[in-house]
């Protein structure tokens, strides 16, 4: 994934969102992929502007990182 073309074009906000999802998966011990919960509060608390969350989610979906 880290060397994929999709990862290279990911925006800064997309990277942050993906990192939050990876951290949530790690907190769950790698279990529950596909059922991760990430709230707006989580995103804003990590420095993502509230209005940038939805576009970032669409971006990581379009690039194939999440469904």
pLDDT at 43: 94
pLDDT at 28: 87
Write the CB contacts of 32 (distance below 8 Å, at least 6 apart in sequence): 25
Q: What is the mean pLDDT of each run of 10 residues along the chain (67 residues)?
A: 88 95 90 87 94 96 93
pLDDT at 31: 85
Write the CB contacts of 27 (distance below 8 Å, at least 6 apart in sequence): none
Annotated domain spans of the chain: 5-62
**Whole-model pTM?**
0.86
Question: How far apart, in whole angstroms, are the C-alpha atoms of residue 50 and residue 45?
Answer: 10
pLDDT at 54: 96
């Amino acid at each position: 994934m880290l060397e994929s073309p999709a990862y290279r074009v990911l925006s800064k906000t997309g990277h942050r969102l993906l990192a939050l999802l990876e951290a949530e998966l790690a907190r769950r011990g790698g279990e529950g992929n596909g059922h991760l919960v990430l709230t707006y509060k989580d995103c804003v608390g990590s420095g993502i502007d509230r209005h940038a969350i939805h576009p970032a989610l669409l971006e990581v979906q379009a690039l194939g990182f999440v469904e």
